[in-house]
Amino acid sequence: MFGADAERAAGFILERVRVARGRLWDQGPARRCGSYPIPETPALRLFASRRVRGVPEPARQALLGWGRGERPAEPCARVPTAVEVLARQARGRRFVSLVDDAAALAHGDPRHRDGLAFALHDLCHLEKFMAPEHHRGQVGFFRSLLRALDDPALQELERSFDPIWRADRDYVIADMNGSAVFLFSVLKMRVNMAVRRREAARRGRAPPARGPLDDDERAALGPALRTLCRALELPAELEAAALSVSARRDCPREARLLLAHFEGVSARAEE
């Protein structure tokens, strides 16, 4: 089934590139990667042997890997919700949306203005999700976060935040891939920003655009981050490390501990 689904996606992309680019769609021979056999189906065979204009190399590699059964993806004829994407990633899979231009435009993201852009975007994310050095940690992080969304304390915290928080959270769970520590750090940063906006609203002020948190903001942030950590079921002895890591990669020891935890969550799910 992997091969059939990947061939369908490859045909979807190829048809749209040919319409958009005309005779310029073919950019010449593609670089062979490894000793994989040339696919037998026509669209995948073309992607294995030719460079197709406007198709990034990660998307091409995702298509070919999908065809070989190495990229557990699911084609989707609509735009799934962020929580649906999260649930698939928690199972080690990703959607690839094959939608028409009207559905892509209705989604409202200017980066994915048509069906072709949407499919290429999803394929690039698929390749990042399956990167060997990050895959197991991501699965563990997404499994933890999927479970956390049902935690009553986290739900109560989310209700205290503004609508921007939900959009920021959904971006992390459905539109970001890479190191699990980086993903967790970005989610923490989003909580930080949500707390700052909440506290500013309580004071009747506009939230600061930059600068360090003041004393009141820091006092409010601590309980919010602890709620997040406990909803993610981080062990108590790991909480300090989790609160220390950041996207700046300035706490390598703590980052290794956190990554080992998320990789363990993934490994236990595989048993």
| Residue ranges per structural domain of the chain | 2-129, 135-270
Convert the pLDDT of each residue in 144-189 to its tens digit.
Answer: 999 999 999 999 999 999 999 999 999 999 999 999 999 999 999 9
Burial class from Cβ neighbours inside 10 Å (0-12, 13-18, 19+) for residue 103 reads middle
What's the pLDDT score for residue 37?
A: 83
Contact between 151 and 125 under an 8 Å Cβ cutoff? The reply is no
What's the pLDDT score for residue 33?
A: 67
Q: Give phi and psi for 93, each to the nearest 5.
A: -130, 170
Convert the pLDDT of each residue in 188-204 to its tens digit.
Answer: 999 999 999 999 999 99
Residues 6+ apart with CB under 8 A from 156: none
Convert the pLDDT of each residue in 113-131 to its tens digit.
Answer: 899 999 999 999 999 999 9
Band of the pLDDT at 270, cuts 50, 70, 90? confident
* CA 20, chain centre distance (Å): 28
Convert the pLDDT of each residue in 59-93 to its tens digit.
Answer: 999 999 999 999 999 999 999 999 999 999 999 99
What's the pLDDT score for residue 1?
A: 55
